[in-house]
Amino acid sequence: MVDTAKVLEVRNLQVNLRTADGSVPLLEPIHFELEKGRVFGLVGESGSGKTVTCNALLHMLDQRRMEVTGSIRLNGRELSSLSNEEMRRIRGKEIGFIMQNPMNAFTPVFTIGSQFIETLRTHTQMTKAQAKEQAITALTEMNLPEPAKLMKRYPFQLSGGMLQRVMIAISMCLRPAVVIADEPTTALDVVNQLKVLQELDRLRTEYGTAILLISHDLGVISQMADEVAVMQKGRIVEQAGVHQLFDQPQHEYTRMLLHARPRMSLGR
């Protein structure tokens, strides 16, 4: 049976952009919860605030330009007041992430292998040899060809989709309580989309990871998510269990999104 403990509780999360003419709201106060072993889907048109939400949760917004307020509790621990250094220890190990622009998550001047091994060693007691072995195993599981060679490559030598799969492989090794996946399949072909979704599902079922899944693909959301929130202009306009949301959408914007979905996407 799934333990439905709350892993991440987000309350009144709000983001304002500071401009010369004053403050512009990018995210109105939003609230949601992630539960152990469950997938929470976030949908909405481009520019609705999904990526800003992820980056606010991860403390990855530019603090000089963005003001973030509200409460983010990870297993009961308040994250919003943590220093950047403290958050660095939490990112990766306790909250894994797969970015929409994965190039930003890697340092360009170090190889994939050295960054993978360094990440594992920062968060665990592994020796270098153990970390290398784990990294190669995880890359193999992610369907990445010639993992040993891939470890010697630099981020710019990999496609966005490959880098996303490297990020999932890191999460497979560190088994964080929460994984934030921002459009994890957008850059992938159909075969690798399926592989990535299967691996995310494995994180959830095998390790009880709670997943925040952002996708514009309602087929992916309907297959993966337990609960779904619909965002429009920086607000959550509707939130419901996946079946209810797809079968009985309440908000006009949700109905419009469902109506607009391409017939080719995986239907329910």
* Contacts with ligand ATP, residue ranges (CB under 6 A): 17, 26, 44, 46-52, 100, 216
| Minimum CB–partner distance for residue 24 and ligand ATP (Å) | 8
CB of 54 to ligand ATP, least distance (A): 8
Q: Pick the closer one to ligand ATP by CB: 52 or 212.
A: 52
Give the dihedral of Cα atoms 201, 206, 208, 209; nearest 10 deg.
-50
Instruction: Give the per-residue SS3 of 57-126.
Output: HCCCCCCCCEEEEEEEEECCEECCCCCHHHHHHHECCCEEEECCCHHHHCCCCCCHHHHHHHHHHHHCCC
**Closer by beta carbon to ligand ATP, 52 or else 242:** 52
- Strand-pairing partners, residue 232, are 235
Q: Which is nearer to ligand ATP, 95 or 131 (CB)?
A: 95
| β-bridge pairing 77-78 and 66-74 | antiparallel
Measured from the CB atom, the residue of 48 and 171 that comes closer to ligand ATP is 48
Nearer to ligand ATP, 99 or 144 (CB): 99
Minimum distance from residue 216 beta carbon to ligand ATP (Å)? 6
CB-based contacts of 133: which residues, under 8 Å, 6+ apart? Answer: none
Question: What's the length of the chain?
Answer: 268
The least distance separating ligand ATP from the CB of residue 45, rounded to whole angstroms, comes to 7
CB of 11 to ligand ATP, least distance (A): 19
- Phi, psi of 76, deg, nearest 5: 85, -10
